[in-house]
Structure 1
Amino acid sequence: MCVPTNAQEADTPTDTPTEAATPTTGYFDDAGNWVPPARDAAPDTDNCPQATWPPEPVSTSERAASTPDALPVTYDGPCGVSAAEGYEVPDDVLASAWLVADLDSGDVVAMKDPHGRYRPASIIKVLLALTVIDELPLDQKVAVSAESAGQEGSAAGIGEGGDYTVEDLLYGLLLSSGNDCAHALAQALGGDEMTLLKINEMAKTLGMTDTRATSYSGLDSAGMSTSAWDMGLAYRAAFDNPTFADMVDTESYEFPGFGDLPSFELWNDNKLYLNDPDGIGGKTGYTDDANHTFVGAVNHEGRRLVAVVLDTTINNDHRAWEQAQMLLHEAYGVSGSVAKLAPANTDEPETTTAAPSPAAGDDAGQEAGTAWNRWWSYAIVAGVLALAVLVTVLSLASTKKRRQRR
C-alpha cells in the first residue's frame, strides 16, 4: 500500500478503528489515510518522553531531508499534569500535551507536558498570520500563481489570476486553513525561504524556545517542532492583535471567486467556535505525523481562556475541539494557577515552581529566608569595608617606604 506523505485538515480521518484493525498500532484505512492508535487514556508523559524531539513519524514526509539537531532544552520542570486546586482533568481528554490559560493575565490554570516537543500541524499558521499582519497592508493586492492554487492539503479555493487582497487570503488562511492562501501570502512576503526566516524570527521574539517551523503551512517536514507552552504564547499574542482576533471570530466570509467562478461563502472550520456560545475563535490542525492539534478560545463571563491541544486522537467520539472544550469548561470557576504564560526571557516567572521558595503561609520558612538574606547582605558589606581598609593600609605602607628611600 502506498504510504501518503502527509494529510491536512481536508483529509482528516473521521472513522474510529475497528477491532480487526489492530488499533494499538494504528493503521491505514481503505482510502490510504492514517488512523492513529486507539487510546483509552492520555499517554503517560511523567518521564518527559518528548523533552527533546517529537514522536517518530508514521509517514514518509521527513525521510527525504536531513534532520537538523534538536533544539536546546531550556525547561526543567514537571512533564505530567499540573493543575490549580479545584481543577479536574476530564477523562476523555486523550492528548499527549495540552494547556489551559487566561489570555489576559497569562495565568495557566492547568497543563500537561507543557514543553514536550510535538508537531503543530496547521495551528503553526498563527506565526504566518501575525507576520503578514505586521508587514503587509490588508488592502494590498496579491497575485496568485498556479503553484499557489495547486497546493496540497486543505484549501480555501483560490485560483490563478484571481483578484485577491491580503485580507482575503488571511481569511482563507484562518477560517479554512488554506494551504493555498499560505503559499500565496508567503510569496508576498518574499518567497518560501524568506517567509520561514520571518516566522521563526517571530517565534523567537515571542519567546517560543521549543518551536522550529520548517514549513509555514504546518505540513510535516524534518525538524518541525513546537510545544503546548509555545502555542499558548503565540495565541496569547494573536488574540491581543485586533485584526487576528476579529478574523477568527467570524462565522463566514464572502470569498472572491476567479474566472467564471463567482464569490462564495467561506465558513469557519473551528467547531468549538461554531458550537460553543462563548467561543471566540482559534485554529484546527491535522497531519498524519502530528495527529490532531487544536487551539480554541472562549470568553466566559468576561474571562478569556484559551486551550491548546497537541497530539490527540478522536476515539470515544470526542474530537479535538470537544476535548479542548472540556478543558476550558473545567476551568470555569477555578481562580488558581500553576504557572504564568510568559516568555522565559522576560521578568515574569514562567512557572510558580521553577525556583524553590517558602510555601504560602510558611512563616518559619519566610523568616528563615529573610534572616539568611539579611545575614548575607551584612557579610557582603563587611567584606567590602575590610577590603577598603586593607587597600588603605597598603597604600600608607607604600608611601612610607617611598619617603624612607628619599
Structure 2
Amino acid sequence: MWTKILPVTALIASVSLTTGTAYAAPTTPVGGEALGSRGLVAPEGVKKPPKSKATSYVIADADTGQVLAAKDPHGRYLPASTLKALTALTLIPKLDKDRKVRPSHNACNQEGSAVGLSPKVTYKIDDLFKGLMMSSGNDTAMALAEANGSLTQTMRDMNTEAKRLQANDTVAKTPSGLDKPGQSSSAYDLALIARAGLANPDFKRYISTKTAKFPAPKGYYEISNHNKLLWRYDGMVGVKNGWTSKARASFVGAATRGGHTIVVTIMRHEGFFWEEVSDLLDWGFSVRGKAAPVGRLVDPLPASALAAPQQQASAPAASVTPAAQPPLMERAARKQDDSTRTVGSVVIGGGLLFGLIWLGYGIRRRRARSRS
C-alpha cells in the first residue's frame, strides 16, 4: 500500500481535427496508476522518505525496477545537463570510441559549461564522452552530435531512444540540455534513462571516472567529475547533475551496496542537494525488499514496436491518408504541460469553430460576387 496519493486526472475526450472522430487520452501513467500523483507517493509500514526541497523526485531499485517512493514523478520540467545521460545512452552504440574527430568552431563555441575543446585538436570519441559526462561539456555534446552526422539526426535519434525506453515525458531539443522551448523530461524518465545506462559498460565507465587526462593543443590537462558524491558517498556509481537558471538544479545518481543498486533522480531543486540525495539513497537501501513498491520502471519497447511508425513515415506521401496522421489536438497537447493543456483545447476548438464560420462567410461572398 502507499500513502498520500493525489487523485489521478480523469480521461479527457477530444475530437480529431483530421478525422472528426472522438478519442481519449490514456490516463494510466507509465509505471503504474499511483505515479500519476503530483504529491508524495510512499509505501506504508516503513519510515517515510527524508524531506527534500526538490519539486520532483524518484527513488527506485535499479535491479528490480521497483519504484520505492516518488514525488510528482511524471511532472515535466527542464532537465538541464541531466539530459546528457540520454545523449550518451543514444550515441555510445552509434559511435566508435576509437574514432578520431576534429570539432567544428560551432561546437567549440557552445555557451555554458565546457570542457575546452579546440578546433586545432583531434579528439577520440572516447575523450568526448568523458568530457560530456564528467565535465558536462556543452562543447563535447555538440561535437558528438556532429560526429553522429548532424544535430538534426542526433535529436531524432535521442527522441527515438526516449520513446524506446517509454520515457514519454522527455522531449529533447538540444544534446547538451541547454534550455530550449518544448524541451522537457521527468524524474521518472531520468530514472529509466539511468537504469538503461547502467547496463552499458562504457556509459558506466564514463559516469564513474573521477579524474582523467584530456587532450589539449599542447599535451593534456586534467578534468574531474562534477558529481561530488563520487568522493562523498559510499558506493556511488555516478550518473549526472545539471543546473540552469530556468531549470534550477537537477541530479541523477546511482549507488551500489551489497550487490544492489539504488537510483535517485531529483528535478527543480533550489540549491545545495548533495546531503538530501545521500539521505534519499540511504532510505532507498534501508527499505529495499521490505516495502511494497509504489510503481515500477518499465522495460524498453521491443524493436518491432518502433519499426511500424518509421515505416509509415518513409512511405510515399500519396499513400498517407489523413487518418494515418497524428491528430492536430494530440500534436498540440505534446507541447503543453498540465497547466496549459485544458486552455490549449479551448483555443484549438475555438479556432476550428472560427475557421469554419470564416470559410462559410467566404463561400457566400464568392457566390454573391459570381451572381453580380
User: What's the TM-score once normalised by structure 1's chain length?
Assistant: 0.64
Partner of 1:284: 241
Q: Deviations over 1:176-198 (max 9, x none)?
A: 10001001001001111111101
Q: Which amino acid aligns with 1:277?
A: D
2:64 aligns with 105
Matching residue's letter, 1:342: V
2:274 partner SS? helix
Kindly indicate whether residue 53 of structure 2 is the aligned counterpart of residue 94 of structure 1. yes
Say whether the 8 Å CA contact 2:60–2:69 is kept in structure 1. Answer: yes
Q: Distance in 2 between matches of 1:232 and 1:240?
A: 13
Residue matched to 2:139:
180
More helix by share: 2
RMSD: 2.2
Q: Does 1:306 align with 2:263?
A: yes
Aligned residues of 1:250 and 1:268 also touching (Cα < 8 A)? yes
Whether 2:277 is the aligned partner of 1:324: answer yes
- Matched residue SS, 1:134: coil
Other structure's SS at 2:298 match: coil
Aligned counterpart, 2:202? 243
For the 8 Å contact 1:212–1:223, the answer to whether it is kept is yes
Cα distance between partner residues in 1 of 2:40 and 2:76: 16
Secondary structure of residue in 2 paired with 1:83 = strand
What residue is the counterpart of 2:286 in the other structure?
Answer: 333
**SS, match of residue 132 in structure 2:** helix
Partner of 1:254: 213
The SS at the match of 1:212 is: coil
Count how many residue pairs are aligned between Structure 1 and Structure 2. 276
The answer on whether the counterparts of 2:85 and 2:193 sit within 8 Å (CA) in structure 1 is yes
- Aligned partners of 1:178, 1:210: CA distance in 2, in Å? 24
Please tell me whether the aligned partners of residues 48 and 116 of structure 1 are also in contact (alpha carbons under 8 angstroms). no
2:228 aligns with one of 258, 271, 274: 271
SS at 1:144's partner residue?
coil
1:231 is aligned, of 183, 186, 190, to 190
Q: Deviating runs (4+, > 3 A) in structure 1?
A: 44-49, 71-74, 343-346
Find the residue that maps to 2:91 and give its secondary structure. helix
Contact 2:67–2:297 under 8 Å retained in 1: yes
Deviations along 1:25-80, one digit per CA (max 9) or x if unpaired, are xxxxxxxxxxxxxxxxxxx995789xx9xxxxxxxxxxxxxxxxxx9876253221
Q: Is the 1:87–1:331 contact (alpha carbons within 8 Å) kept by the matching residues of 2?
A: no
The answer to whether 1:297 aligns with 2:254 is yes
Which of 90, 105, 119 pairs up with 1:146?
105
Cα separation, 1, equivalents of 2:178 and 2:125: 22
Residue 219 of structure 1: CA displacement? 0.6
Alignment of 1:39-78 (within 5 A): 46=6, 75=29, 77-78=36-37
Provide the rounded CA distance (Å) in 2 between the counterparts of 1:223 and 1:48. 24
The residue number in structure 1 matching 2:312 is: none
Aligned counterpart, 1:211? 170
AA partner of residue 88 (structure 1): K
TM-score of the superposed pair, with normalisation by structure 2: 0.70
> What is the CA–CA distance in structure 2 between the aligned matches of 1:48 and 1:169, rounded to whole Å?
43
Aligned counterpart, 1:403: none
Residue matched to 1:390:
none
- Quickly say closer, same or farther: Cα 1:103–1:155, change in 2 above 3 A: same
Distance in 2, matches of 1:116 and 1:45, equals 14
Alignment partner, residue 395 of structure 1? none
Compared CA separation, residues 111 and 344, structure 1 to 2 (3 A): farther
- Partner Cα distance (1:48, 1:221) in 2: 29
Aligned residues of 2:85 and 2:239 also touching (Cα < 8 A): no
Residue in 2 aligned with 1:21? none
Q: Name the SS of the counterpart of 1:200 in structure 2.
A: helix
Determine if contact 1:196/1:216 at 8 Å carries over to the other structure.
Answer: yes
Alignment correspondent of 2:298: 342
Closer/same/farther in 2, CA of residues 146 and 332 from structure 1, 3 Å limit: same
Change in Cα spacing, 1:269 to 1:73, as seen in structure 2 (3 Å) is: farther
What is the CA–CA distance in structure 1 between the aligned matches of 2:149 and 2:223, rounded to whole Å? 27
In 2 relative to 1, CA 289–301 (structure 1 residues): closer, same or farther, beyond 3 Å? same
Contact 1:256 1:263 in 2 (8 A): yes
Q: Deviations over 1:81-107 (max 9, x none)?
A: 11233142223x101110011111111
Contact map agreement 1:73 1:210 (CA 8 A) in 2: no
Could you tell me which residue of structure 2 aligns to residue 378 of structure 1?
Answer: none
For 2:122 and 2:59, locate their aligned partners in 1 and report how far apart those are by CA, in whole Å: 40
In structure 1, give the amino acid aligned to 2:282. H
Supply the AA of the counterpart residue of 1:272.
L
Contact 2:165 2:301 in 1 (8 A): no
- Aligned residues of 2:208 and 2:237 also touching (Cα < 8 A): yes
Deviation at residue 132 of structure 1 after TM alignment? 1.6
Q: Percent identity?
A: 38
